[in-house]
Structure 1
Amino acid sequence: MSTMTTAGNQAPTGSAPAAPGRARGLRLGGMNWLVWRQHRAAYWTLLAAAAVTVVLIVVARQQMMTYLDGYGYPHLKPDWEDRFNHRWLDIAALVIGYMPILVGIFVGAPLLAGDLENGTAKLVNSQSASRVRWLATKLGVTALVVAVSTTVVAVAFGWWWTPIKTSSYVFSWIEGPAFDNTGPLPAALTLLTVVGGVAIGMLLRRTLISMVVTFGFAVAVQVAWSQVRQSLGTVLTVTSDKGVGDGSMPPVPEGAYVVDQSYVTSSGDFIGWGSCAEATEKASNACLEQAHVVGWGIEYIPLSQMASMQWLGASILLALTAGIAAFVILWGRKRLV
């Protein structure tokens, strides 16, 4: 009886013993486990918020597509915008637009400032792991969670907005709600504010003040980025020579963002369309004749450039992020505690 029980409990002869915990799947270990456990509340909050956002976007898009199908999507009727309710798109764009600021404040700023303020950094420094490894793991795990969360949300929001992207009725593709909330930009903007917040927390060593300063940094990044966004594209020009009356405007591609429009003279020069905004139509026509105006010139950026502009902008932002991360590691290697 006892022999049978023992034999039943033993592994077959010649087989290797099972590694403890292998059947339970992959597990974090060492420094990765320590960082995840320390900041797991923030990480899980980010991942859960991203998952909930995606679910809500899926539901909202289904409702939108039901409406658009009633107007012949993908070849929409001209009056499809009359009853279209874009309230939820506006709200979602606003919330996602604040994501880099919020994540930078609540995840980036406390990441090192909390450890320096409560003495955890000194405890870690007394262990066998080097400061560089600890800092690199902190930044790496946090960056991975942030990148995954923001990218998933960006893909979902882009999928929602794409059916109406050629229309400026909701928002133009080059404006922040569309341009900054789709493609690689949400991840790039958020990573910059998060790593910037980490650097601020490392220098100030106080959590609350670091969060306040990170808020200012994140807002400054958003303002500066809004001034740079349009310059990432190549402005194209199309002209006409059919006068300036009704129907004389040269055609531009569907969804193109018009940068400026001007009068074109017979010599090929451009003059501002307000140059001949005279008090009366007769005086205006006389001004146009005197300037030898023959048509219109339109400067525009086509929708087809959107993806390349986003990747160029994301590359710049990620390069800045990498520079700040390098500063954090180099500074922290000698002066962290």
Structure 2
Amino acid sequence: MTTLTHDPARTAPTGSARNHWIPRLGGPVWLVWRQHRAAFWTLIAVTLLGVVVMVHLRGQMMDFLATQDPTSRRAGGLPTEFETHAHRLFTIGSYLGYIPVLAGVFLGAPLVAGDLESGTAKLVTSQSVSRLRWLTTKLAVPAVMLALSTGVLSAVLTWWWHPVKGLSSGLIWTSFFSVTGVTPVAYALLTFTVGVAAGMVLRRTLVSMVVTLGIVVAIGFVWDELWRSLGHVLSLTTDKGVGPGAAPPELPTEAEQQGQGTYFLTSSGDRLDWTTCLDQIEDDRAHTACLESKHVIGWSLDYLPVAQMDTMQWLGAGVMLAVAAAVATFVLLRGRKRLL
């Protein structure tokens, strides 16, 4: 009888062979992941939770819309129950608007400042890893994680919002400009790099977080004031007079009016403020005579159309990414020469 023997060396793969397909981190990448794994896993968990919540709420909204007459959506005749779904969408979008603040204060500011304060930076750079390589990895790993997380959340929110944009006063495109599309990714990367730069200069974690918060709030204020200037303002005019029976121009669907309101248009093409002849508004004849004396022939108003939203988002994202790249370059150059 022949005896069969079991040869472990031939039948069982070695550990390295068995796991050869599993990606392994090494060097500075492993160190950065190890140092900040709590923050990274939190980021992953929050992203997954946000996706699940938004997918669930979108499903409820679409089920509700499926029970309504399709013509009511075009005519704006949805019942008041829809406002509950609109409020949920607007609220989640508002929450995602805090991502740049969290990215700068809690991820960017402590990133390098913590290592400088604890002495980890001195230990790492005393090894075979150069300062430039360590800083590059230190910036790149969290930036990639942040970009992926923000991009996924923004994409899901955009997918949720698109079927109903403009169907409610809270769902107009200007309310979702900074939290949909590519804008949130660029915005988060900008505040992240600003936080890292603040941490490198100030070298104290808590101080860096406070200063970063102030800078990020200032960036947000400037962004809110200037992002509309990324678009090309269009004008609507009439030339049939402004008296009884002459209606002011109506804005296109989902357009946002710009400026102070509706202006008076003169025959020479000039525009007068809507307060022109306002002191004679109680007397129709006197008011009409006043406007005629100023050669008013109609109305004029400025607006931004929704069609420009994507272009404006990409342009704004490009500006923010350029600033982020400049800040990151400052971090690398300063860190290479004056890190410790």
How many residues are aligned here?
A: 331
Q: Secondary structure at the match of 2:92?
A: helix
Judge which range, 120-129 or 80-89, deviates more. 80-89
Q: 1:142 to 1:293 in 2, by over 3 A?
A: same
Quote the residue 1:219 is aligned against: 217
Q: CA deviation at 1:271?
A: 1.1
Matched residue type, 1:97: G
The 1-side partners of 2:212 and 2:3 are apart by 68
The 2-side partners of 1:264 and 1:274 are apart by 13
Deviations 1:10-51 (A, max 9, x none): 269xxx988445445222222211111111111111111111
Q: 1:62 to 1:109 in 2, by over 3 A?
A: same
Quote the residue 2:199 is aligned against: 201
Quote the residue 1:232 is aligned against: 230
For residues 246-265 of structure 1, the aligned pairs below 5 Å read: 248-260=247-259, 261-265=262-266
Q: 1:167 to 1:21 in 2, by over 3 A?
A: same
For residues 263-278 of structure 1, the aligned pairs below 5 Å read: 263-277=264-278, 278=280
Query: Would the aligned equivalents of 2:254 and 2:306 in 1 still touch at CA under 8 Å?
Result: yes
Percent identity reads 45
**Structure 2: stretches of 5+ with no match in the other structure:** none
Q: TM-score, normalised by structure 2?
A: 0.90
Quote the residue 1:34 is aligned against: 31
Query: Would the aligned equivalents of 2:76 and 2:167 in 1 still touch at CA under 8 Å?
Result: no
Matched, 1:52 2:49: yes
> What is the RMSD of the two structures over their aligned residues, measured on CA atoms?
2.3
Which residue of 59, 63, 72 maps to 2:60? Answer: 63
Matched, 1:173 2:170: no
Q: Secondary structure at the match of 2:170?
A: coil
Query: Would the aligned equivalents of 2:194 and 2:324 in 1 still touch at CA under 8 Å?
Result: yes
Q: CA deviation at 1:247?
A: 6.1
The 2-side partners of 1:107 and 1:39 are apart by 9
The 2-side partners of 1:113 and 1:26 are apart by 30
Q: TM-score, normalised by structure 1?
A: 0.91
Matched residue type, 1:96: L
Q: CA deviation at 1:171?
A: 4.2
The 2-side partners of 1:276 and 1:59 are apart by 55
The 2-side partners of 1:81 and 1:193 are apart by 40
Quote the residue 2:159 is aligned against: 159
Q: 1:21 to 1:125 in 2, by over 3 A?
A: farther
Quote the residue 1:287 is aligned against: 290
Query: Would the aligned equivalents of 2:100 and 2:188 in 1 still touch at CA under 8 Å?
Result: yes
Matched residue type, 2:216: A
**Structure 1: stretches of 5+ with no match in the other structure:** none
